[in-house]
Chains A and B, each alone.
Chain A
Amino acid sequence: MSLNSGQVKKLLETNKPLKFKQLALSLMYTRLKNMYQKDPSASTVDACMKQLNDLFAKFGGSMNEDYKLATSI
């Protein structure tokens, strides 16, 4: 369960209102999205990808639903 940089870029750029189930992901995603809006560079995407994938790895299967949402953008 991991996102590639293209998926992360889409996720950070989407204007769709997302409703994540896991508190950690909803808080982290909001912070990363704000970070990307201030600095929409490839290095920001890479940094965001690492943090998101670390979180998915940490939560494992309990994040399946949120992962599906993230990859559906």
Chain B
Amino acid sequence: MLLDFEKTAALIGEGKLLHIAGTESLLRALPKGNWIGGSTEYFVANTGGIVTDSQLSVNILDFSEYTFTVYDCDTIEKVAADGYENGLTILIIPFNSDVHTEYAGKAPAYEDMFIKPVVGWISGLNLGKEQTPIAVNGFTGECFADKAVALSLKVPDGKRADIKIVNIFDEDDSSPVIHFDKNGFAAQVCLVDGEEVDFAEYIEENAIDTNLPLVGDYSGMGVNVSIKSIADGIVNFYAPVFADIDYHFAKAIPDYEKAFGDKLNEIENKDSVFACNCILNFLYGNLEGKKINGLYGAITFGEIAWQLLNQTLVYVTIE
């Protein structure tokens, strides 16, 4: 739910356990308490997509056991292992920080990753303003541009956190298979149907819409990697591509609002404890002012469902 500063501060004052998303200045001004937060000014609420620096997206988390932890590049590898045996960890990482790069590249190999549920998001900024992406440990009042903050929740016995993604993109099976020879946030060359090509030239020559992500084939799930820019012959991504993964470009989406609506209508349980959606879906889909049927939350600069994803909606239900 979207709340103003006073109502959010009041919930903190009541001792509620909260996950908060909002503009950097409001987060810095909130009182200490049982909360973690991350910066963004983009949200999807029940009234539709909205850009605001006067409201915060607040999730009240109904869990009785929890811990707050701050991670840097040297300690982030423990994020899954540090979680409760039956738990859920919500992780917030500042955009473009070293810990963002570290997590993006190495998270799949961290201890207990995929065994213990880890979700979260990359905090950002208003793209038209001078701001610093931050993650906040509300318990201590510390704001970080260079560290990640995690809230680990103990899920009650007999229940389980279930992480799901909504990916409106499908790989275009008629497009060639793309392979990269190494993991990374950038690529100059790749193999297209086995033939080495200059990737930037390939995109230009084939008039590929770079608003569409690459979709990696993860044995049943499509995992998106979005193109950030093409400069000096290098294609830069918002998340790393991985060697040994088959990628295709996604099929075009003529109507994002309808695509989300159709996907969300397929979901029976939208009673989520956490949800976030990608800034690129918000921007490319012109979601501002458009209503989405459920799974409201922050619009983010990368989504985490164990590993870093792009152009994806991530949500968690307690089953």
Which residues from chain A sit less than 8 Å from chain B, CB to CB?
17-21, 23-31, 33-34, 37, 51, 54-55, 58-59, 62
Contacts and interface: CB of A to CB of B under 8 A. Distances in A.
B244 A23 contact: no
A20 B43 CA distance: 31
B221 A51 contact: no
A54 B163 CA distance: 17
Nearest to B246: A17
Contact of A23 (B113, B160, B164, B245): B164
Contacts of B163: 23-24
B86 to A, nearest CB: 9
A17 B248 CA distance: 15
Interface of B: 108-109, 113-115, 117, 160, 162-165, 217-221, 223, 242-245, 305-307, 319
Contacts of A29: 219
Given A31-B109, A34-B244, A54 B164 contact: no
B244 A27 contact: no
A55 B108 contact: no
14 contacts: A18-B219, A19-B219, A19-B220, A23-B163, A24-B306, A27-B223, A27-B306, A27-B307, A30-B218, A31-B114, A34-B245, A54-B115, A62-B162, A62-B319
A55 B244 contact: no
B115 A58 contact: yes
A44 B257 CA distance: 45
Contacts, number: 59
B115 A27 contact: no
A58 to B, nearest CB: 6
B220 A18 contact: yes
A31 B108 contact: yes
B221 A37 contact: no
A30 B114 CA distance: 12
Given A28-B113, A62-B319, 11 more contacts: A17-B217, A18-B219, A19-B219, A20-B221, A24-B163, A27-B108, A27-B221, A29-B219, A33-B219, A34-B244, A62-B162
For the complex of A and B, list the 7 residue pairs with the smallest distance between their C-beta atoms, beginning with the closest: A20-B220, A19-B220, A28-B114, A26-B221, A26-B220, A34-B244, A30-B218
B120 to A, nearest CB: 15
Nearest to B245: A30
Given A31-B108, A34-B244, A37-B244, A26 B115 contact: no
A60 B15 CA distance: 35
